[in-house]
Chains A and B, each alone.
Chain A
């Protein structure tokens, strides 16, 4: 199978054959693929699609490669180099586009071409700081936020690593991965080292026991569980989507919200007041009163709403309907936000700021 990277594989010289593939590297990769317990390798194809032994091809760097090479792990480019493009349903998820993606209202409508995380296009645009995470290398630093809002430095990943080592330096941008990033371990400064093994050993489908290695986690997020939609929600509907891991009031470091809390821990601190003092996450709406408005999520049949997703205890499969008996209607950070970015303020999934509660009323059904 030919690899699919950066648009069409026809544009890549590697597709002509593995001329530069190092035998030892191939042997190493094959050994990983065949290792016991591995479900699937996330990246398939020729080694040369991603790697170059000498950062040289016929005595020169290829124009398709990144401009700042050589790169770690003998890669031909960096994160953005592979993950920039326009999604068309291929095997590479594009998270930033050079041209504005089609998002429509919620990024879930037919014809949209953003993925579950959204897209960094908007935050990378001038004056759009609040449209996404201001990731180093993709966007300029945020003009008003020198550190992650709500950062308290006390939340560790499953491998014990803490973002920024627990103390975020003022002005330091967030990265894709590593010490200041979301993906991989926070113990590694370099993003490539942080996600080591993730692209080759990464597991797909249901990730119920994420362990503490980047490769074991949902989307290479250390310790995070979840069901990975094979298309990253390129074509999303109530039956085909990511299934996010949630908890109900108890601390669970495998939930998708626990990932966010590593950097934004203060945002959902319940405190001791006894009423919600901030919007809850990892709260199961099935715990609400019998006549609560939130039990109307998804209408009479409680159909899963891709535009405002809820998490579950069980992530072995995507849920088409949400059972209000318990464990399937859990509010998460991603119920409202896109992890990468969106066209909307505060990287909301829907146009919250510009509406009278659009999106909110999917759960707060009496406030429509």
Chain B
């Protein structure tokens, strides 16, 4: 008979270790915060406090780099930012709702204390790569180097645009998780879950966003939450980086099946499926219907969404080669728009579909600068036959299914120029989210000229 003699100290050790593991398990040893960008043990949050020794022994990623449980650091009360305790036990106020417009200061939004470049409190802030979408995923060079700079691009010119943080904060009050003291950034990002998508640009598992209606989950990291959900209708734009390939970050064309991109459409539409007000533009931004099909019927949604084109469209690569396979491309919002700020109006990216825009989109209805965006994917006269850049005569008047016959120019165009060189009509009079053109809309131009119905009677023009 074999007798196993077990040392009681061994048993105690085993029991102790088992309990320790139990504590770790109850503490969620590898939970979402530990996998988040902020909770990264090497590159996560690590605040350096001016005038106060670095917050004690707290390791990188520790809660104390953002939260002060007693509004105190090192026994001083209260310190260190803004002279008093702040909501959510943050070391500074989450948001100054008196700040209605850019330019933003670091003190306006809690997140900017770190996401602000040279003035950042984050240790080794220069290593943070908070570039814009055009650079991170589109392969362009230059652009803003941090989030605060991205929002403050209006400093670079009147036409630049930004996602108005007061509007976001105000709109987000309707979401259950969102509090009156929440930072507007938290409408789109869960600071305890957002991951380092910059480090893994082709893996939506590292997404940084959460739906406002589902704040406690990441968005894009699960099957059904990527552009692959559009059943092949999403065509990855070209990548501008030296490697070529497609967005994001030069993924090979053969692999680009939508699964590398979070479904940004569903994400943006969490707010923009309804009309929302823009303080910056002093008007309502129309609701966006990215899902309803129906061609040129009035109830149909945008053709850049799930609704399909109804007439000949002249498109650039890579969409041209896919034309025979797809009759209904679905674009991603971020194929054209930046989420934070852009040097163009309407948050239009500075580079789209593999290259930088050749001119600035001003947002003024009277000019045709929107065409600088359109021509990144659609053929202007230059691309069609070597005509002028950002001139659109061929597609409007000379193509097989052109909407308007090239005659009676003055019906629409301002006076001036000769045949074929009439001053353009601002793109925005006919093209924009949700727009339809028929005998009654868009109606009269500021010049007093009336735009007639297109051939066929009516068209959805976006």
Interface residues of A in 80-115 (CB under 8 A from B): 104-106, 108-112
Q: Which residue of A lies closest to B191 (CB)?
A: A367
- In the assembled complex, the Cα of A105 lies from the Cα of B88 at a distance in Å of 27
Query: Across the interface, which residues of A come within 8 angstroms of B365, CB to CB?
Result: none
Judge whether A353 and B59 touch: CB under 8 Å: yes
Q: In the complex, are the beta carbons of B181 and A275 less than 8 A apart?
A: yes
Cβ-defined contact, B89 with A277, below 8 A:
yes
User: Of residues B16, B23, B57, B64, which shows the largest number of chain A Cβ atoms within 10 Å of its Cβ?
Assistant: B23
CB distance from B53 to the nearest CB of A (A): 10
Q: A356-B39, A356-B41 are in contact. Are A278 and B23 (CB under 8 A)?
A: no
Complex alpha-carbon distance, A293 and B72, angstroms: 25
CB-CB nearest in chain A for B69: A279
A356 touches B33 (CB 8 A): yes
Q: Restricting to A126-156, which residues have a CB under 8 Å from any CB of B?
A: 130, 144-145, 149-150
**Which residues of B are interface residues toward A (Cβ below 8 A)?**
12-13, 15-16, 19-20, 23-24, 26-29, 31-34, 39, 41, 44, 56-59, 61-64, 68-72, 74-77, 84-89, 176, 179-181, 192, 216
Q: Are B88 and A275 in contact (CB under 8 A)?
A: yes
Query: A88: shortest Cβ distance to chain B, in Å?
Result: 14
What is the bound-complex CA distance between A104 and B181, given in angstroms? 39
Cβ of A358 under 8 Å from chain B: yes
Which residues of B are found within 8 Å of A171, using beta-carbon distances? Answer: none
Decide: B59 and A278 in contact? CB cutoff 8 A. no
Are the CB atoms of B27 and A362 closer together than 8 Å?
Answer: yes
Closest to A152 in B: B77
Q: Which residues of A contact B28 (CB under 8 A)?
A: 361, 365, 368
* A360 proximity list for chain B (CB < 8 A): 63
Q: Is the CB of B75 within 8 A of A109?
A: no
Among B27, B39, B62, B181, chain A packs the most CB atoms within 10 A around the CB of B27
Whether A268 is near chain B, meaning CB under 8 Å from some CB there, is yes
Q: How many A-B residue pairs have CB under 8 A?
A: 134
A selection of 21 A-B contacts at a CB cut-off of 8 Å is A105-B20, A109-B20, A111-B15, A111-B16, A144-B74, A264-B70, A267-B77, A275-B179, A277-B71, A277-B86, A278-B89, A305-B26, A345-B56, A352-B63, A353-B56, A353-B64, A356-B34, A356-B44, A356-B61, A361-B27, A367-B63
Answer whether residue A36 sits at the interface, using C-beta atoms and an 8 A cutoff: no
Q: Is the CB of B192 within 8 A of A366?
A: yes
Given A276-B87, A305-B26, answer yes or no on A353-B192 (Cβ-Cβ < 8 Å): no
A268 and B44 alpha carbons, distance in the complex (Å): 28
CB atoms of A307 and B23 under 8 A apart: yes
Cβ proximity bits A255-270 to B, threshold 8 Å, 1 near / 0 not = 0000000001011110
Bound-complex Cα distance A279 to B63 (A): 12
A110 adjacent to B62 (CB under 8 Å): no
CA distance A109 to B24 in the complex (A): 12
- Interface residues on chain A, size class: 35 or more
Are A368 and B31 closer than 8 Å at their CB atoms? Answer: yes
Asked whether B26 lies within 8 Å of A111 as measured between CB atoms, the reply is no
Task: Please name the residue on chain A nearest to B38 by beta carbon.
Answer: A356
Does A37 lie at the interface of the complex (its beta carbon under 8 Å from any beta carbon of B)? Answer: no
Contact between B23 and A368, CB atoms less than 8 A apart: no
Interface centre among A106, A150, A275, A336 (most CB of B within 10 A): A275
**Which of B20, B26, B87, B179 sits near A277, CB closer than 8 Å?**
B87
Which residue from chain B places its CB closest to the CB of A267 in the assembled complex? B70
Determine the distance from Cα of A289 to Cα of B175 in the docked complex, in whole angstroms: 14
Q: Which of B15, B41, B44, B85 makes the CB contact (< 8 A) with A110?
A: B15
- Which residues of chain A have C-beta atoms less than 8 A from B20's C-beta? 104-105, 109
A368 to B34, CA, bound (A): 7
Give the contacting residue for B89; candidates A264, A279, A293, A345; CB below 8 A. A279
Residues of the B chain whose Cβ atoms lie less than 8 Å from the Cβ of A277: 71, 84-87, 89
Q: List, in ascending order, chain A residues with CB within 8 A of B33's CB.
A: 356-357, 361, 367-368
Give the Cβ gap from A212 to chain B, nearest Cβ, in Å.
Answer: 29
Residues of chain B within 8 A of A112, CB atoms compared: 16
A354 and B57 contact, Cβ closer than 8 Å, known pairs A106-B23, A109-B19, A368-B33: yes
In the bound complex, what is the Cα–Cα distance between A271 and B117 (angstroms)? 33
Contact (Cβ within 8 A) A353 B62:
yes
With A and B bound together, what is the CA distance between A352 and B56 in angstroms? 12
User: In the assembled complex, which residues on chain B have CB atoms less than 8 Å from the CB atom of A110?
Assistant: 12, 15-16, 19
Query: A327 interface residue, CB < 8 Å from B?
Result: no
Chain B nearest CB from A303 CB (Å) reads: 9
Which residues from A are CB-within-8-Å of B27? Answer: 357-359, 361-362, 368
